[in-house]
Structure 1
Amino acid sequence: MKDFQKILVVADPTAEHQVALARAVELATKSQAKITVFLSIFDFSYEMTSILSSQEREAMRQGVIDQRNAWLLDVVAAYKDRGLEINTQVVWHNRPFESVINQVIAEQYDLIVKGTHHHGKLKAVIFTPTDWHLLRKSPVPVLMVKEHDWPVAGKILCAVNVSTEDESHQALNGKIIEHGKALAEKFAGQVHLVNGFPGTPVNLAIELPDFDAHSYNEAIRMQHELRVNYLANEYGIPINQCHVKEGLPEDVIPELAEQLDAELVILGTVGRTGFSAALIGNTAEHVIDSLTCDLLAIKPDDYKSPLDES
């Protein structure tokens, strides 16, 4: 995996502390990446002021853009001693996720970093509609950040899918692990692999009295363990840092992340839309919704954003 060289940080105008920018600076410091802090704004009232000419409305919009850009410059000034190239950009757009992805495609960024919200009581991440659109439609990795530091020797949990021998899934597993190892090397972290496998179907146990559910479960477990261990050996990850657990991914991954006190979970998203997006809502996206740590979402190499017209 190549280092991230161009990072697009999505600013949060409602937050006092820009957690996404802080995390992007941590990453950029390790690779001298260039950062752009990006803000998409829109106010419908400026579009509906019929008593003003189009030139006057444009002047009002530009005034708002200049005001927000001045705010971003103040935010960025706190990092001027880091020796990094940090730029700002504000655009007027009524769909924030589209403006972000359009910018990524036009300027060839290789990472989006965005802060997430969390519920204080449950400590669960709450993803906004913009978050979901970015996770589904971004052509580059998306790092969703929470309010905490990445300590030295932190744990990075890579969620792999070994239930199929499909080449595209295997390639995505490799891509996920490569990102994990690259980040672990920069932050002296520790890479763990996690895989959930399905338990015995209830209908089999009911309909077939002689069916040995325990033996079936053990056979499935062994098959998954062998495949995960093979991946671990291929990428030089110790076997004791591999975790194969019975259960659905949306249950297994968040539970293990909490047990390990992981700083980051890396998983793959296929970026489907429409009916097929609803189908994967029970797997990858439910995993995302239950995490209490940072998340890095990776797309397959052949993925093309629906917003990419090239």
Structure 2
Amino acid sequence: MSQYQRLLLIINPALRHSPAINHAAALAKASGATLHIAAFVKSLDILSLLEEGAREQARENYLHEHRHWLKDQAINLRGRGIEVTTEVTWSDDMQQDILDHVTEMQPDLLIKQVQHESALKRAFFTPLDWHVLRHCPIPVYLLGGGAHALPRKVVAAVDASVGNAENSELNDRIIQQASSLAIQCDAELHLLYAYDISQDYLEELGGGLKLSDLTKGLRRELEKSFLKFCGRYGVPADRRHFVIGHPVSALSEFANEHHVDVIVMGRVQDHGVEKLLGSTTEHILYQVPCSVLAV
């Protein structure tokens, strides 16, 4: 049985050329899941200039246009054998409305197009996608670049260096989600471990070592730990990738070089400065040329 029985797709109906509907529909078809498409429309400031009666009529006309368009999309999807329902509604609080839909519908997966925000804006406002990643209780599939409606190459990004139970369980969930997605989409499954050896860590080793002075022995021990980890999950040797570098840049480079379609990563509850600046998974959204499935 597929791990996905019910999918929830959140879209911006103004972005009609977005591939989000096609990608969500392809996954629904492959997994046999039902698909609900919720189109949230932000209130238009210009409507406040109209008198109350005219304002309500304008709002209804605007919604009607989007509902008509989405209805046509649903007809096409049903013609492909996909069970789909739709809704178009105003939203004054996008973050809360998304979470409320998840609570009410209890889907197995939330799907949404990545909403790119500038670094300047992120410095003052927490992006919507970051809010969703931090508070959504189910896996979140954020669609980025990539031309394939169904992924052909899925990469599970794990942390094989940490041995505590919490991280071990998270690694298990990451690999389970990645493996199931790859099976359903007939895609390749790869495991990647990006290990960041910071200058501070090297200094703790003694002698103020620089990154270039990292001994072969230390690297060998790290890689040995990763390969042992891969062996537990039966990952073929040619699909195990051990890289040294900051996870964001390392994953971005790997995704570009290897034409990755989806990176499956873990989400953790950050606090303090990390919560303010954003986690690795959050920053990945603006760096990699592919989609991110956050567990």
Q: TM-score range by the shorter chain?
A: 0.7 to 0.9
TM-score normalized with structure 2 length: 0.83
Give the whole-Å Cα distance in 1 for the aligned partners of 2:165 and 2:127. 31
When residues 152 and 106 of structure 1 are mapped into structure 2, their CA distance, relative to the original with a 3 A threshold, is closer
How much does 1:32 deviate? 1.5
Partner residue, 1:143:
141
Partner residue, 1:35:
35
Whichever residue aligns with residue 110 of structure 1, its letter is D
SS in 2 for 1:290: coil
How much does 1:87 deviate? 0.6
Partner residue, 2:16:
16
Contact 2:20 2:143 (C-alpha < 8 Å) held by counterparts: yes
Q: Any residues of structure 2 matched to 1:113-262 within 5 Å, and which?
A: 113-116=111-114, 129-150=127-148, 154-199=152-197, 201=199, 209=207, 217-262=215-260
Q: Deviation string for 1:213-252 (max 9, x for gaps)? A: 7785434423332332233222221122111111111111
How much does 1:88 deviate? 0.5
Q: Deviation string for 1:91-140 (max 9, x for gaps)? A: 22212222111101111012111223679xxxxxxxx9222222222211
Aligned residue pairs total 287
How much does 1:203 deviate? 8.5
SS in 2 for 1:78: helix
Contact 1:46 1:60 (C-alpha < 8 Å) held by counterparts: no
Match of 2:292 among 292, 295, 299: 295
Q: Deviation string for 1:3-33 (max 9, x for gaps)? A: 2111111122232324111111111112221
When residues 116 and 152 of structure 1 are mapped into structure 2, their CA distance, relative to the original with a 3 A threshold, is closer
How much does 1:207 deviate? 10
How much does 1:204 deviate? 5.4
How much does 1:42 deviate? 3.2
Contact 2:111 2:142 (C-alpha < 8 Å) held by counterparts: yes
Contact 2:151 2:261 (C-alpha < 8 Å) held by counterparts: no
Q: Give yes or no for the alignment of 1:75 onto 2:73.
A: yes
Contact 1:200 1:216 (C-alpha < 8 Å) held by counterparts: no
Partner residue, 2:122:
none
Q: What stretches of structure 2 of length at least 5 have no aligned partner?
A: 118-125
Q: Give yes or no for the alignment of 1:93 onto 2:91.
A: yes
When residues 42 and 164 of structure 1 are mapped into structure 2, their CA distance, relative to the original with a 3 A threshold, is same
SS in 1 for 2:161: coil
When residues 222 and 278 of structure 1 are mapped into structure 2, their CA distance, relative to the original with a 3 A threshold, is farther
TM-score normalized with structure 1 length: 0.79
Give the whole-Å Cα distance in 1 for the aligned partners of 2:175 and 2:182. 10
SS in 1 for 2:275: helix
SS in 2 for 1:13: coil
Contact 2:116 2:286 (C-alpha < 8 Å) held by counterparts: no
Q: What stretches of structure 1 of length at least 5 have no aligned partner?
A: 120-127, 299-310
Whichever residue aligns with residue 4 of structure 2, its letter is F
How much does 1:278 deviate? 2.3
SS in 2 for 1:75: helix
Q: RMSD of the alignment, in Å?
A: 3.3
Partner residue, 1:308:
none
Partner residue, 1:285:
282
Identity of counterpart residues, as a percentage?
A: 25
Q: Deviation string for 1:142-181 (max 9, x for gaps)? A: 2122354438882211111123212111111111111111
SS in 1 for 2:285: helix
Whichever residue aligns with residue 237 of structure 1, its letter is V
When residues 240 and 213 of structure 1 are mapped into structure 2, their CA distance, relative to the original with a 3 A threshold, is same
